[in-house]
Chains A and B, each alone.
Chain A
Amino acid sequence: METNFTHHQSAHCENGVASNLLKHNGLNISEPMVFGIGSGLFFVYLPFLKVNYAPAISYRPLPGLIFNKLAKRLGLKIKRQKFSNETNAVKALDENLKNNIPSGLQVGVYNLTYFPDEYRFHFNAHNLVVYGKTETDYLISDPVMENVTTLTHEELRKVRFAKGAFAPKGQIYYPIQIPEKVDLKSAIIKGIKNTCRDMLAPMPIIGVRGMRLVARQIRKWPVKHGTKKANHYLAQMVRMQEEIGTGGGGFRFIYAAFLEEASVILENEKLKELSKEMTAIGDLWRDFAVEASRIYKNRSSKEDVYNTIADQLLAISSKEEVFFKKLKLAIR
């Protein structure tokens, strides 16, 4: 069985699945729109949580949050199910496909056989759509891939029941109710306000303050942990910022694209200006990645290089602080 689902490639998996599922259900909404309304732009530093033996730095909120916020702000109803029993999880998915409902799935990356080996880590917050089933395979639309692909029944079982942090527990989700008319304008404003609040939050590990904390830590890394570990930490940070899914510059370019689209819908010229500014900030993040890669490529052991890169991060955080204050005013 196969549902008449159209695959569109996207930068980030969660936005992509949301956008593709909504398009399938007749609501034409772009990936940047999903990202912006769902307040996907974020920064958090969790030194006590280690991912691949490095402190966790994330440029996005917890998995599932973007789609949930989007649904709330547009008045959509999303059904989400998790399973403790693997057989029931298979049944529920097959039932959906029988009823012509393509379903979003949270999966682990490690057993996704169509990914290059280098990308197969124990990361459990990946999203894809299953739109059909054959005797041996499930038909998969993975939004970060150019084309649709397949997984065998056993392979899909493995990725749905991957273990570890954020274990997907076979989670499936799909929209069950979409209002005839959605109020994009108010949803956009709510999304922007939420993002400004997050990025300017008076918390040391979140938003621009989080960036500053990381900048301070970067200066200490080589002294405290030695250059080898410091370089590993930096490499991990760049991976979180640039790896498949962020659309470049730690999601800044997707967000700029959202602001551009929002400026047309809200008829607000200021947002178009701010979109350009966000693009410039995204370019600064790219420069930061280039500079960081020079450090761990040359394995330079001078303390100074870490100070230089920390200064760079500090400069970005100041730019973003000004930016989000302006953005807050622009939608008043």
Chain B
Amino acid sequence: MKKEEVPQDKGNLSNKNMKELVYAIDEKGNYTTALSTGWEPKTIALSNSIEEISERVAIAKAQVESNKVSPIVYFMEYSRMDIAILSSYVGMWQWRVKRHFKPKVFAKLSDKILQKYAETFNISIAELRNFKTN
């Protein structure tokens, strides 16, 4: 990559006024560094992942509303976690976390256990219990 070819596209970094450092060659063919505001192929790749997450969150939301899964699933997706990450945050086995996904099991959970989830998701127990669609 030549220095004058270092992409300066708009993207997720430029929105926050950030620039990243890349390595490129100058006119004499020697290596130097340059700052880049972003690159379109990358921005598209990232947007793809973000969309993927939004979809997962939307599906989870619908499933909680129709009482197919517990609110834990929604907040897990919302926090960009999967079962492995969630189980390591709350310090419980994955099978236990999976069990808590069932609305019936969730309804009987003690405050002590709910507290662990609430802390992980950075919300209160009340917010976890009384799931609101917004």
Contacts and interface: CB of A to CB of B under 8 A. Distances in A.
Contacts, number: 116
A296 interface: yes
Nearest to A260: B31
Interface in A23-42: 32
A52 B31 CA distance: 34
Contacts of B33: 11
Interface string B74-117: 00000011101100110000000000000000000000000000
A242 B45 contact: yes
A163 B18 contact: no
Given A248-B22, A248-B23, A122 B45 contact: no
Interface string B44-81: 11101110100000000000000000000000000011
Interface SS of B by simple majority: mixed
B80 A110 contact: yes
Interface residues of A, number: 51
B48 A232 contact: yes
B39 interface: yes
B20 to A, nearest CB: 5
B16 A53 contact: no
Interface string A231-252: 1100110110011100111000
Given A32-B31, A289-B42, A279 B25 contact: yes
28 contacts: A11-B21, A11-B22, A32-B31, A50-B82, A52-B49, A118-B50, A122-B81, A122-B85, A144-B21, A146-B35, A235-B46, A238-B42, A239-B42, A239-B46, A242-B39, A243-B42, A244-B20, A248-B23, A249-B1, A253-B31, A282-B1, A283-B1, A290-B41, A292-B45, A293-B40, A293-B44, A293-B45, A296-B45
The 10 A-B residue pairs whose C-beta atoms are closest, nearest first, are A293-B41, A257-B31, A235-B48, A253-B23, A164-B85, A163-B88, A235-B45, A238-B45, A118-B12, A163-B89
